Structure 1
Amino acid sequence: MKYREQHIDKVLFMFVLALMFIGILLVFSSTVYIANLKYDSATYFLENHILRVLIGFAVMVFFIVFVDYKKLKDWAFYIFAVSLILLVLVLFIGKGTAKRWLVLGPVSVQVSELAKLALIIYLAYLVEKNAHRLTSFKLGFLPLFAVIVAVSGLIVLQKSFTMAFIVFSTGMILLFLGGVRIGHLSVGLALGLVVSALMLIIEPYRFQRLLAYLGFEDARQGVKHQAVQALIGLGNGGLFGVGLGHSKQRELYLPLAYDDYIFSIFGEEYGFIGSLVLIFIFFVIFYRGIRIAKYTPDEFGKILASGITFVIFLTAVVHIAVVSGILPPTGIPLPFVSYGGTAMIVNCASVGILLNISKQIKH
């Protein structure tokens, strides 16, 4: 038997590394002012971010080299069950006003980030296992839809509507790719739209964000301020940008400039051309991920690769759309670029799995 050398998708790997490098530059640029002000150290945030990037890179390599993605099928239920328990647990003992974080000693974990990957793994397992009955509403669609609703519903209770939307949307895409009937998906989507509308209306801060987006003058000024300052940052950048380290919006004009609104800082410093390059990088990652899914020999790998690709791409699209004023103001980090621990590590683990799947494709 001839030994076939296995290769990862080098294009995907290099473009993800490029995003991580861009993130290091941007986090330093967007935090140097506030770090000096709050911690009397220009590199306070940068040092934390580099540590997280290194951990993320190590996790990515671990999944590429040591974890055969097919083995995840054996652990899919347990991974999902643990993520559900953590989602419930964080509602009772979670930290922060929105109860999104579990604090374990010196480490804070955003449980919803773990849950989105756990859901993708479990859905991939269920789609492959139940392939013969996915066209049935009662035996195929409903059980899988219930799994998606359970996760996205628990995330909504953490007041993380945007994350819930991304998780729900990714889940429905995976059901479509798995072969669930369009009519059944339409029922689920209609239910999701109704619940989303109710969530927007009954939660005051979400309703204020919607009013600000629609341009109502009496909408809360704090919400408008965030959206307006993000657009000012993009406008300041012009065609070619003001240059690395010359952003004005980072000087406390734009809240969370290093996290939920980091694309605004990028647009200001690198301009419209730079922004197009960054968007292009995400499209290349999306294309390579879909290509991996297309040529993966087994159904579990196809759905798993598709889920990872879509969740990263949708997160990037929502982040950029919010900063650009296309969507209402909300908080979601830009994958591999924004400051953050759990998101960085989970995204790196996800890409590690995706690259592990790419090794199984015949080159």
Structure 2
Amino acid sequence: MRQKLHHLNYNIFLPYILLVVFGIVMVYSASSDILLVNGFNPAFYGIRQAMYAFFAVFVFCALCFFLKLNIFKSRKFVIWFLGISILLLFYLICLKIFKGSAAAVNGSVGWIDLKIIKIQPLEIAKLSLIIYLAYFLDRHDGSFNKGQIIQNLSRPAILAAFMMFLVILEPDFGGTAVLAMIVIVMFSVSGVPAKNAVLCLIGIAVGVYLLVFLIIKWNPEFLQNKYQYRRFLSFLHPFELEQKGGAQLVNSYYAIHNGGLFGVGLGNSMQKRGYLPEPYTDFILAVIAEEIGVIGALLVIGLIFYLIWSIMEVGIHASSQFNALVCFGVTTIIFTQTVFNVGAVLGLLPITGVTLPFISYGGSSLIILSAAIGIVLNISANERIKNEERFANGR
């Protein structure tokens, strides 16, 4: 333990801690006024986020950092972890079938309520898919030659497609897109020819564009009352549909405009006071922009991208395929969620409910991302120890 702590990668650990602490502050700031107006404890969500952060950092991140790295590479761990995540996703579909709208939140069945905490199986699925793909692709390293690619990748592709199918049934389109990006990126960096990966990405993009174009043109009657469809139309016409789902995006624009370059001051946002729905979740960046300005928001996003680059650097210099793939998989989660979240807040992408990593309110996302950071720190420490041993042996 002492040796690992000595080799702790502060380029990853410090940005991670800063983001988590800043997230607690902003969750409190974004939620306190509306809670106070409704007669609740104004610190309720802030305290809960602090509790989630405590367990995320000192239990899950620390545990994944101090465990032997070989545990994550073991067949037994991979199978159990993947199996549990799939069972949890399947359980959500059963909830939807048997309980229907009673189990839904904003039109989606995405959480398992344990009273103390609501577990979001999608978050577990993201990390389990990364570990599984890293394990599988590492064992098949060097076998992705022409004529063998489809045969060798069929098993993980089918399993990943099944997980995405379960997530889209909730329905959670943002989560499905994140899982798809994990698969594409990890396949791309595992030895699959770049041409195949690029063609796959282009094919998916074109397919999604055509599907969206056809739905907009058709505008089917049976989708008119669907929550997700209304949010998509609100993305296209936010001001025209402000009273039918566009209020979140419209008030996000107002918040960013009010904040200007330097903000109105921490805690002084107007849009969080009943105008911007649930400002402490996926639209917390709008409150950040209003309170500490566009420059402050850019600094926060810059810190996230610095963290992404630091993790990528570990992956680039990793001595094993497994270590590299895990790092690239974790960067894919953080990068994709950040892009989706920022794009939704700015009205550049449809609102999918994807949270801002480490900042938005929520226990499942923070805990799983912290576990992922712990694994990356574990990989980084082991790589540094190996490099020191090679140097000491004169290699």
The answer to whether the 8 Å contact 2:4/2:382 transfers is: no
Contact 1:64 1:356 in 2 (8 A): yes
Cα displacement (A) at 1:292 = 0.6
Aligned to 1:123: 133
* Aligned partner letter, 1:96: A
CA distance in 1, matches of 2:355, 2:280: 9
Mapping 1:312-323, distance limit 5 Å: 312-323=334-345
Is contact 1:237-1:269 (8 Å) kept? yes
Aligned counterparts of 2:262 and 2:241: Cα–Cα separation in 1: 34
Counterpart-to-counterpart distance in 1, 2:170 and 2:11? 36
Letter in 2 for 1:246: N
Matched, 1:307 2:317: no
Structure 1: distance between partners of 2:122 and 2:5: 37
TM-score, normalization: structure 2? Answer: 0.85
Q: Deviations over 1:222-274 (max 9, x none)?
A: 32211110111111111100010000011010011000100000000010110
Q: Residue 238 of structure 1 contacts residue 271 of structure 1 at CA under 8 Å; is this kept in 2?
A: yes
Q: Deviations over 1:284-337 (max 9, x none)?
A: 101101001011111101001110112112111211111011112221111111
Residue 361 of structure 1: SS of its match in structure 2?
helix
C-alpha displacement at 1:73, in angstroms? Answer: 1.7
**Structure 1 unaligned spans of 5+:** none
Stretches of structure 2 that go unaligned for 5 or more consecutive residues are 97-102, 388-395
**Matches for 1:237-316 after TM superposition, within 5 Å:** 237-316=259-338
Contact 2:238 2:249 in 1 (8 A): no
Distance 1:134 1:104, change over 3 A: farther
Q: Does the Cα contact within 8 Å between 1:133 and 1:139 map onto a contact in 2?
A: no
Aligned to 2:207: 194
**Following TM superposition, by how much is the alpha carbon of 1:143 offset from its aligned partner in structure 2, in angstroms?**
2.1
Once the two structures are TM-superposed, the CA of residue 189 in structure 1 deviates from its matched residue by 5.5
Structure 1 distance, partners of 2:234, 2:204, is 26
CA shift at 1:197, angstroms?
A: 5.5
- CA offsets 1:24-71 (integer angstroms, 9 cap, x no match): 111111111122133431111111111111011121111112x22332
**Match of residue 155 from structure 2:** 143
Q: Tell me how far apart the structure 1 counterparts of residues 13 and 5 of structure 2 sit (CA, whole Å).
A: 18
Contact in 2 for aligned 1:140/1:180 (Cα 8 Å): no
Retained in 2: the 8 A contact 1:127–1:134? no
* Contact 2:188 2:194 (C-alpha < 8 Å) held by counterparts: yes
- Aligned counterpart in structure 2 of residue 85 of structure 1, from 84, 87, 93: 87
Give the conservation status (yes or no) of the 8 Å contact 2:52–2:363: yes
Number of corresponding residues? 360
CA-CA distance at 1:134 after TM superposition = 2.5
Q: Which residue of 2 aligns with 1:29?
A: 29
Query: What CA deviation, in whole Å up to 9, does each residue of 1:170-224 have, x standing for no partner?
Result: 2111000001234543247625753686489375444433333333876573322
How far apart, in 2, do the equivalents of 1:39 and 1:47 lie? 16
**Aligned amino acid, residue 52 of structure 2:** R
- Match of 1:178, SS state, is coil
1:90/1:197 CA distance change after superposition, 3 Å? farther
Choose from 103, 111, 114 the match for 2:124: 114
The SS at the match of 1:133 is coil
Cα distance in structure 1, aligned partners of 2:6 and 2:322: 19
Which residue type is aligned with residue 109 of structure 1? Answer: I
Task: List per-residue Cα deviations over 1:99-145 (Å, max 9, x = no partner).
Answer: 11122353321110110000000000011012233332332232222
1:76 match: 78
- Please tell me whether residue 361 in structure 1 is matched to residue 363 in structure 2: no
Moved more, 197-206 or 243-252: 197-206
What do the CA deviations read for 1:331-352 (whole angstroms, capped 9, x no partner)? 1111111111111111111111
Aligned CA distance change for structure 1 residues 55 and 261 (closer, same or farther; 3 Å)? same
Residue type of the alignment partner of 1:113: E
- In structure 1, what residue type is equivalent to 2:82? F
Secondary structure of 1:284's counterpart equals helix
Aligned mates of 1:80, 1:112 — CA distance in 2? 12
Q: Summarize the Cα distance change of 1:155–1:356 in structure 2 as closer, same or farther, 3 Å threshold.
A: same
Q: Which residue of 1 aligns with 2:172?
A: 160
Contact 1:70 1:301 in 2 (8 A): no
The separation in 1 between residues aligned to 2:382 and 2:293, in whole angstroms, is: 39
- Percent identity, please: 26
Q: Cα distance 1:175–1:46, how it changes in 2: closer, same or farther (>3 A)? A: same
The TM-score, its normalising length taken from structure 1, stands at 0.92
2:83, 2:195 → 1: CA distance? 29
Q: CA deviation at 1:356?
A: 0.7
Whichever residue aligns with residue 44 of structure 2, its letter is: Y
State the one-letter code of the partner of 1:62: L
